[in-house]
Amino acid sequence: MNNYELMVIFTPVLSEEDYKVAQKKFADLIKETGGTVTHENPWGLRSLAYPIQKKTTGMYLVLEYSAPSDLNEKLKIQLNRDENVLRHMITALDKYAVEYNGRKRHGVSADSKTVEA
What pLDDT is stored for residue 110 in this prediction? Answer: 53
At residue 39, does pLDDT exceed 80?
yes
Name all domains of the chain by residue range, CATH numbers in brackets: 2-106 (3.30.70.60)
Determine contact, residues 45/58, Cβ cutoff 8 Å: yes
Between the alpha carbon of residue 49 and those of residues 5, 28, 55, 58, 84, the distances in Å are 20, 29, 11, 10, 19
CB 7 within 8 A of CB 62: yes
- The answer on pLDDT for 112 being more than 90 is no
For the CA atoms of the chain, what is the radius of gyration?
Answer: 16
The closest alpha carbon to 12, from 62, 64, 63, 53, belongs to 53
pLDDT at 33 over 90: no
Q: Mind listing the pLDDT tens digit for each residue in 53-77?
A: 999 999 999 999 999 888 889 999 9
